[in-house]
Every structure is written in structure tokens, then in C-alpha cells.
Chains A and B, each alone.
Chain A
């Protein structure tokens, strides 16, 4: 059995030398666009990786720069030689985390992710006492209290985030939802954001699946997809989570797996086969299940025949492409088709719909200045469309965009594509 890129420096080196340093990635990198310096962009990080492997540098500055990346994969689309940057950045972070360690707060968070029942209890406990840390700013909206502002730049007066649900989506949902004549059976992989922060999106997805006669399975024991730990280089924990999820899929054996979160979808479809490279047993499983993973919009249009909603939803909508959906899952036509299928919806494209929103999971907390700069230009593009709704298909983007509408006074509501479809169905009856 060969060694994987995460275990062997030579394998990593072989990926690094594929970069010819042409610099084309500068044209599309959101971090470079905001910071205008070479360390921001993929080729710079690859050069840093080379220097690191040669033993020329190994310090906190290096760590800061290697983590200064949204892993949005925009550079991979612009790369003329097909450098596998996604693999490279994970491998470099993995090596750095082993060499230099992670901050304790992240360690704690990651440890809890791999202990789902504790993670679940912890978040629920937090939801009960969130008022101590977060004050109410509107329906289902919270903002950090003043004493938290010392935690970092991002926790300023304008920062808002969705309220933590007191009951998670999987708590309030049966594990099997039957329909009279099912077209197909699908497992709904909820992901943590929908489960804890946006349970109403979970409800909308169920409604849409029911309307389209899909028998849906929502097993309570599904885990975090592993993306958050993976992008921080903790490949071991990511594998642990991935194995649990893959074993669950094996056991339940659904026809399809559906996601409503671009990052979860990308993890299941692309990152699982990648992290299990050379682990024959799980690589085979990962590849097998990757084939059956669909984001909810492609599932509705490609796998089954969408029941077109009849009720009207008179709205001007613009669509934001989540990076993990467009650049990893290669889905950008279907969400637009779903929007266009809703009577009354007028889809207006913004200037650069596939420009990253600057969220990047926890990137927006660690690199607040750059994240906000990226978000600001996104919000200007949204504003210029004069749309009433900015629709997208990723809870992390929704959080970031939602905050952007408040911070930059943009008069648009942020919605999941499927929530609009669900709303149209609801109006039928």
C-alpha cells in the first residue's frame, strides 16, 4: 500500500512541483483581491509549502499565512495545469497542525465534534444560555454582548448570527418519513448548520421531498461531515467522522443521499475519496457513496422529475453561488432552474455571482478584515441588482450574507433556494 499525501512529504512535494508559478490564480482569488500580496494567493502558499518542506521556514507567521485561505477552490478553476490545490492546502495544514499544534479552543471544538452526543448536549446547553453571551437583535437573530468584543475584531457592534435552536432539527424530526407511492428513497444528510442553526430549512427540504413523493430517511446518528476539522488539517478526526458516516450509509443503504449544505455535499462527494486515498477499504466506500450524493436542487431536476409549483411568489431574486457547490460539486445551473420554476420569481444575476462571500467556515472570525472586505464587495453586487431576496444553497454563506445585509444596509432577505420553493408549495394549499 502506498503512502498518502498526508503521510508522506515526497507525495506532497510531487503535487507542489506541478505549480508552474504562472500566477493565473491571482485573477480569481478572493483573499488576494482583498489583500493584494503574493502570500494570499495559491501560488504563494505553494511556494511557502516548498520552503517549509525544505526546512527553510517553520514559524507562526507561516501558519498564519497558510490558514489565510478560504479553501473556496476558485484558483483550481483558473489553473492551467490542474494543480490539486485542495489536496495541497489540506496536507500543508495537516503537517503544520502536527508540527506546531492548534490553539486549545479549536482542539476542544474538534474533540467535541467527534463525540457527537457531547457535542449535541453542549450546543443544546448553549442554546439555553445563549442570552448570557448573545443579545436578541430581532426574530431568530442574535448579536454578541459587549464583553465578547474583546475576543476579536469580528465581534463588533454590527456582528449578528442566527439564534441557536433550543431543539435541533433531528430532535424534532422522525427518522423515516413515508409517502404513499414513493418515487425513490433518499437519506437527508442534514449537516450541523441546518440541524442546530437553521432547522426551518430542514423542514422546508422535507416538505419539498414529500411533495415530490420521496421517502426520506433522517437518521439521528448522522455525524458532522468533517469539513470543519478537515480544512484545519485534522485529517485523522475528519477520517473518524467520515468513517462513521460511511458506515451509517452502508448500514441504511439508501438509494440517494441529499444535502442542503454545499460544504457537507462537497465533503461527501469530493473530500471523502480524497482523504481516504490509499486506504483501500474506505476509499472504495467513499467513492461508491460519492456517486449517490446530490445537492437537493440537482436531485430534484436530474434524478427525479420536479413537481412544478403552481402558486405564485412575486419576488425579484438574485442567486449567490456557494463556492463548494459551484467549484467543488460543479452545480450552478440547477439552483437557478429551481428558482425559475417558481411562478412569479424574477431571477436577476448579480455582477459576479460566483465570487466567494468571504465566510470560509471559521475564516471570517480569524481573518475578519479580509473577510469583511470580500463581503462588502459581494453586498455591493447584491445591492445593485435591487433584488428583494438573495438566494443561495449553503447555510455558511447564508450566515455571512445575512450579516452583510445588516452591516452594509442592503435591503434584501437571505433565503435558501429550497425555502422559496417550499413557500410556493405552501401557497398552493
Chain B
């Protein structure tokens, strides 16, 4: 329990409306979108609106030795914002102003609570985009996506969050405010601090302002869908598209299990006997360039024995995308709960990874539908389970262990875009080794000597 003195100090700092302490108000801050991880109901939730207030909270937490759990929209898929003790959750959802859109330097300066989709709607007025587009973008905040280094569908061509962060203001766990980076394209002053804080999952500093890079919105696009009789043909198509030097904005794959479920659910006219489908979109600012890339993609599909459809109108494009959009909703109808993983491999190993997942599904008698971003090797095996079935949940744990093993053996990584948090901490050593864990611990101790900021996440202090 948090002391009355601490709560009163928070109230005088932020006002009564910005401090939640009733049990019923706190329960909805005890989770994110990650299933089956340890969690605790926090002792309080606070809503700062300025950097000074964040600094004030950190100082109070140091004084009263209260753990801090920073939180955006709580859409994280690895447990990043989930409290593990009766500490204080700092919600950034009310610190959500777009401070500036600089259409000459092509930057946006924002507070951490700005929603990704809101920012995109604002910059669209100037013909610009902020490309990182995680599935949760309609609610996810910039602060959260920066802290988790979120990816998205356009990652292959446009990169991920880390490629768009130019500078930041953070409040350190020791209470100081630290600003670095800025609006310059080039900046090699001191360490690359953006690299340090992007993806630090709220363990090294609290993000209070971010300067983001914007790019002109592509004017033309062309979408197509292709079906293959074998996984190998689909995998070869992915490789050959890149070999032909076409980098599509979207290059999504869906396995047979997912195709059948989607068709059964949404009746969008997918061939249920196809081993895999690819959804491909090329875009750019020149019409001819886009047409030419689309032509090259079609040639590659034909060479690899794929059947395909090219969208000629926006309506047709929407129809093609309906299949991808229906993937998760459709899979979720099969069983009460869905566990979404994001093991990632080099794109040349996608077929091996898909095969490995299918074997694991068979071995543990689980239903796994896999879809994901084939172009960047980031797959989303979606395991369908019934949480009330104890035996199935035990098999699920084993299957997840093996999925990560398989990804690492293929030269991949534990997480492409969801993060480590608490969900994957136990696998960290397998990828980084003892020396890697040691580096993480030293970094954490150097910046957060009292282990007050998001303790228990990302860094395996106990190892």
C-alpha cells in the first residue's frame, strides 16, 4: 500500500482529478494486451501533463521508494506497462499535445500521449506521413511505441519507429531532465542516445517529448494478392521480389490454416486449398515507377506458379486487404483466447520457420494460424487456446519455448516488434549470452541505481 503522505503529495502536485486511488479505478491498469503474465494492481495512477510534473512524481517516488510504471495506451504485447507491485502507474494519455509540425524540416514535436493515428491524421493535412504503423495505431501512443520500438506493416520499406526518432526529452530515474538530438538530419554529438532510449521499454528514462521525422506521403500505390500451392513457391516469391530490386511497402504472408479460417469467417473468396497467400503493395511518388514495380512483382509471381489478382480500383484494393484485416478476428472465433507471438527470422528463412511452426503445432496438438510480415521475416504465429483448459495451457508454454528456439536456430530473434517486457525475459540469455545480460544490467544500474523505473522488465537483474 502507498502511504497517505505520498498520495497527498501526488494530489497537491497534479490535482485530485489526475490521481486515481480507488481499487475499482486501479484494476483497469493492471494489464496490457499480453496474455498470461504476472501482474499486480497498482497503488495509484497519476496523469501528468507537463515535464515538470513528471519530474515531480519521480522525485516523490524516490523519496518514498515507490516503483514507477510508465504507461501509454497499454496495448503492449510483452507486458511493458504492466505493474508488478503496488507502485504508481504514470499514464501519459492526458499529456497528448502535438507541439509543432515543421513542414520545412519535416519534423513533428509531440508529447508522449499523442496517439499514432491522430498524429498521422494531422500531418496528412500537409501531404506527409509518419510511417510506423503498428496494428494498434488507432490507440497506441507515441511514447509507448517509442519505448517499445514498435514496427508495423510498412516496416520492410519504411523501417520501424527507431528510424523516425530524431530527438527526445526524458526524465531520468534519478530525477534530472535530459534532452538530446533535434531537428538536424545529422547529429553525432556524444553517444547515440536515441538508440539507447528507443526500445528501452520504460526502464532507463521516462519519455516526455519526442521529435519525429516525417516523410512525404507516397502518391501512387498498387496492391495485389497471390496464391501458391506450396509454401516453397510463396517463400521463393518473397526472395525473388527482393532480388528483382523491388521493395514493396507491404509484403504479407498468410498460411493455409489462416486462409481457411478467414474464408470460413469472412467469405471473401479465398481458395481454401492454397498453401499460402501473399498480399503485396508497392507505392511511390512516380506513377510509371509504381506500375513498373507492380509488373516486376507479377512476373515473379508467375515464375513461381502463383495465381494472382491485381487491384485496379480503391474498392478492389479494399477487397484484397479485407482478407488480411480479417486474419485476427477470424482466428479469434475458433477458440476463446489467442496468443500472438512475433518470432522473427531473416526473410530467406521464412519457409523454414513456417514449417517449424506447423510441426510444433502438430507435436503439441495446438491450433496455430500464422500470418505476418513476410518481407521482413516478422511472423505472427497465433496460437488459439482455451484458458480454462489447463492441459492445453501447459502445452502452449512448451510450444512457445520451441518457437523461440526455432527462430534463434534460424539466425532470427526473439521479438521483431513486440518487445521483451516480462513475457520473453527468460529467453533473453539464449540470444544475448551472459555478456549481453551483463551489459544490460550495467546500463540499467548506471542510469537507474535504485531500480525504481519499471523494475522487473526487460533486464534480468536476478540472473
Contacts and interface: CB of A to CB of B under 8 A. Distances in A.
A27 B336 contact: no
Given A17-B387, A27-B115, A39-B27, 4 more contacts: A23-B32, A41-B28, A61-B25, A82-B332
Contact of A37 (B20, B33, B333): B20
Contacts of A24: 136, 138-139
A47 interface: yes
Interface string B240-283: 00000000000000000000000000000000000000000000
A311 interface: no
Interface residues of B, number: 35
Nearest to A27: B138
25 contacts: A20-B33, A20-B35, A21-B31, A22-B136, A23-B33, A23-B75, A23-B139, A24-B138, A26-B73, A36-B47, A36-B94, A37-B47, A37-B91, A39-B24, A39-B27, A41-B28, A47-B30, A59-B24, A61-B22, A64-B24, A65-B25, A78-B138, A81-B333, A81-B338, A82-B332
A41 B91 CA distance: 15
B27 A57 contact: yes
A324 interface: no
Contacts of B22: 61
A18 B24 contact: no
A66 to B, nearest CB: 9
A381 to B, nearest CB: 15
Residue of A22, A38, A62 contacting most chain B CB atoms (<10 Å): A38
Interface string A34-72: 001111010111011001000011010110110000000
Given A22-B136, A24-B138, A26-B139, A48 B27 contact: yes
A56 B115 CA distance: 32
Given A17-B387, A24-B136, A38-B74, A61 B23 contact: yes
A37 B26 CA distance: 10
A47 B82 CA distance: 14
B356 interface: no
B117 interface: yes
Contacts of B35: 20
A62 B25 CA distance: 8
B31 A47 contact: yes
A37 B25 contact: yes
B28 A43 contact: yes
Interface string B148-176: 00000000000000000000000000000
A80 interface: yes
Interface string B7-40: 0000000000000101111011111110100000
B117 A27 contact: yes
B195 interface: no
A17 B337 contact: yes
A21 B32 contact: yes
A285 to B, nearest CB: 28
Interface of A: 14, 17-18, 20-24, 26-27, 36-39, 41, 43-45, 47-48, 51, 56-57, 59, 61-62, 64-65, 78, 80-82
A357 to B, nearest CB: 22
Contacts of A45: 28
Contacts of A56: 27
Nearest to A16: B336
B127 interface: no
Contacts of A26: 73, 139
A81 B28 contact: no
B24 A80 contact: no
A305 B91 CA distance: 54
B23 A18 contact: no
B53 to A, nearest CB: 16
B329 interface: yes
B332 A20 contact: yes
A51 B117 contact: no
Contact of A82 (B23, B94, B115, B329): B329
B326 to A, nearest CB: 9
A44 B115 CA distance: 19
A150 B25 CA distance: 27
Contact of A80 (B27, B31, B329, B388): B329
A80 B94 contact: no
A18 B24 CA distance: 21
B74 A23 contact: yes
Contact of B332 (A51, A64, A80): A80
A37 B73 CA distance: 10
A250 B91 CA distance: 54
Contacts of A57: 23-24, 27
A388 to B, nearest CB: 29
Contacts of A51: 27
A36 B74 CA distance: 13
B384 to A, nearest CB: 11
Contacts of A48: 24, 27-28
B328 interface: yes
A51 B29 CA distance: 12
A305 to B, nearest CB: 28
Nearest to A45: B28
B93 interface: yes
A44 B31 CA distance: 10
Contacts of B75: 22-23
B69 to A, nearest CB: 13
B28 A47 contact: yes
A80 B25 CA distance: 25
Contacts of A22: 33, 75, 136
